[in-house]
Chains A and B, each alone.
Chain A
Amino acid sequence: MAPIGVSVALPVRAGDGFSARLRDVLASWARAFRSWEIWVHLGVQDIKNRYKRSLVGPLWIAISLAVMVAGMSFLFGRLFSQEGGRYLIYLTIGMMLWSLISSSFTDGGYAFLGAESYIRQIPQAKQIYLLRCTVVNLVVFSFGLPVFVAVALLYGQFNASLPWALVGFAVVVVACVGHSAIMAYLSVPFRDLPPASASALQIVYFLTPILYPVDLLRQRGLGWFLHINPLYYLLEIVRHPILEGGPAPAGIYAGAVAYTALVWVVGLGVAAALDRRIPALL
C-alpha cells in the first residue's frame, strides 16, 4: 500500500557514537537542573492559569479527593470488609500516589509535544519542559495533602514513621521524573503513545492494590502479580511506613530502587538515541 501522509525529514545519525550522545544528554540534564528557576516558574504559572477563573481554585483537588475517598471507603469498605479508619487512610494514600504516578506517564507524554514551539526555536535543555510537568504534578499532589492529614489525624495514624514515608516518597518522585523522561522522548516519534499509555494505565490501576487490600490478591492466588508490578513497590514504599509504622520490608525498598534505576537507564538510553532528532521530529 502506498504510504499515506506527508513526508518527514529527519537528521541522519551523525558520526558520533552512542557514548558521545549519552554524554550530551547527561550535560543537558545538568543544565536543566541548574535552570530550576525556569521550570519552577513555568510549572507554577501552569497551576495559576488552570485555576484562574475558578471560585475555590485548587481547593477542588482536595474536595474531589475527599468526596471520592469518602464514597469509596463506604462502598469498598463493605465490599472488602475492611475496618473503617485504617482503610480510609490506605485508600487516601493510594489514590494520591496513583494520580501522581499515572500523570507522570500521561502528562510526560505531552511534555515535549506541548513545548514544540519552544524546542524548535530556543536552545535550552529540553528536560526543563518535562520537569515543568513534574512541578505541576507535585503541586497538584500537595493540594491533596490536607485530606490526608485530616484523615490521619482523625484516626490517629501519625507516628514516628513519617521520615520513612518521606524517604519512600523521594524514590517515587525520582521514578516519576524518569517515567516522564521516557514518555516525553518516545511520544515525539510515536504520537500514539500518550493515548495508548493512558489506556494501559487504566488496566494497571485495577491490577494494583489501591482500592482493595493487598491481602485480597494473595488470598485469591494472585500474589505473584504483585511481584511483577513495579507500581506496587512504589505505592508500598510510602504506604507501608504510614500504616504499619517503621520502615517498609527490605524487599519493597529493593524492588522500588531497582525499578527506579531501570527507568532511568531506559530514560537516558532513549534520550541519547533521540535527543538530536527531536527538533526536526516536532
Chain B
Amino acid sequence: MTDALIRLGGVGMRFSVSPASDRSFQGLFRGLRRRGPVRTVDALQDVSLEIRSGERVGLIGPNGAGKTTLLKVVGGIYHSTSGDVSIRGLVCPLFEFATGFEMDLSGWDNIRIRCMLLGMPRREIERKIDGIAEFSGLGEFLDYPVRAYSAGMFVRLAFSATTAVEAEILLLDEIMAAGDLDFAARAKRRMLDMIGRGEIVVLSSHVLDELADICNRIVWLDKGQVRADGPSREVVQRYREAMTPASVSVPAPAAEAPSVP
C-alpha cells in the first residue's frame, strides 16, 4: 500500500479577467495611459479536502463549477492563489485527450514521449511498451502518424500510456465521454485495479451513474465551492434533485472563463 495523500486547506484560485487586447504590445502601451477596472473570478473558493490512499473520488457540478481547475491545482499545473496544497505521491494527470501529441510521429513514438514526460525512465518504457500497445488495442494504427487518428483513438493512446505510469495519484477529466464501449469497460477495470493497489483516483464526469459506480466518494462543486462531499449515491441523489429543471442554477458566464483557452 502506498500512502498517497491529497490535502487541500482553504484553497482558492482567483483569476483576474482582462480583455485579450490588453496583452499585445498595443495593449501594453494603451495600458500605460489607462487601466480599466480589474474584474476577478474565483474559480475555486476556500476548498478544503483530504483524500487518502485507496479513495476514488468523483467530481460533479455544472459547467464552470471548478472541476477542471481543481484537478489542475492538484495536478500541479496551476499554482493556487490562496490556501495550502500538499500532495504526497507521484501525480499522473489526463486532462485533454486530443492534445499533447506529436502529430507527425507514430503512435509508438507518442507513447514513449508521453511516458517520458510523465516521469517514466527509458528502460521501463521499453519494458512496458508492448503491454501499453496491447492495452490500447490500436494494433497496426500505432505505426501511423497520429495525425490520422480519430478522437477515440487519441483517448485510447493517452489513457493506455498514462495509466502505465506507476502513479500514486491519477487525475482524469471527463474521460468517460470518449472511447467506445469495449475500451470504456477495459479502462474502468484498469482504474479499479489501480485503486486496488491503494492509489488515489480523482475523476470528473457528467455521466452520474457511471461515476457513482466507480467512485466511493463524490464531491459536488458549485461556483468554485464544495457544496457536498460524501458517499457517492447520496451526493448524486442530492445533485439530481437540485438539478431538476425547476431549480437549474445557471452558472455565471465569467466562472467558465478559466477553463477556456
**Residues of A in contact with B (beta carbons under 8 Å apart):** 3-15, 37-38, 41-42, 45, 49, 52, 116-124, 189-192, 196, 276, 279-282
Contacts and interface: CB of A to CB of B under 8 A. Distances in A.
Contact of B18 (A7, A14, A41, A190): A7
A280 B18 CA distance: 13
Given A42-B113, A279-B77, 15 more contacts: A3-B21, A9-B43, A9-B258, A10-B18, A12-B40, A12-B81, A37-B122, A41-B112, A45-B113, A52-B104, A116-B99, A121-B93, A190-B25, A279-B78, A280-B78
Given A10-B15, A11-B81, A37 B21 contact: no
B17 interface: yes
A7 to B, nearest CB: 5
Interface of B: 13-25, 28, 36, 40-41, 43, 72, 75-82, 91, 93-96, 99-102, 104-105, 109, 112-113, 116-118, 122, 257-258, 260-261
B28 A123 contact: no
A45 B80 contact: no
Contact of A45 (B94, B99, B109): B109
A11 B14 contact: yes
A198 B109 CA distance: 32
B78 A49 contact: no
Given A4-B21, A5-B20, A279-B72, A121 B105 contact: no
B19 A8 contact: yes
23 contacts: A3-B19, A4-B20, A5-B21, A6-B19, A9-B41, A10-B15, A14-B80, A14-B82, A38-B116, A38-B117, A45-B105, A45-B109, A52-B104, A120-B95, A120-B96, A121-B77, A121-B100, A123-B76, A123-B91, A191-B23, A196-B25, A279-B78, A280-B258
A119 to B, nearest CB: 8
Contacts of A189: 23
Contacts of B28: 190
A136 B80 CA distance: 34
Nearest to B79: A276
A3 B37 CA distance: 13
A204 B14 CA distance: 42
A6 B22 CA distance: 11
Nearest to A117: B99
A184 B54 CA distance: 40
Contacts of A279: 72, 77-78
Which of A37, A122, A192 has the most chain B CB atoms inside 10 A of its CB?
A: A122
A276 B76 CA distance: 10
A120 B21 contact: no
Contacts of A190: 23-25, 28
A8 B113 contact: no
A49 B109 CA distance: 11
A129 to B, nearest CB: 10
Contacts of A9: 15-17, 41, 43, 257-258, 260
Contact of B15 (A6, A11, A49, A192): A11
Contacts of B113: 41-42, 45
A121 B96 contact: yes
B165 to A, nearest CB: 11
Q: What 4 pairs across the A-B complex have the smallest Cβ distances?
A: A3-B19, A117-B99, A123-B76, A9-B15
A4 B19 contact: yes
Nearest to A42: B113
B19 to A, nearest CB: 3
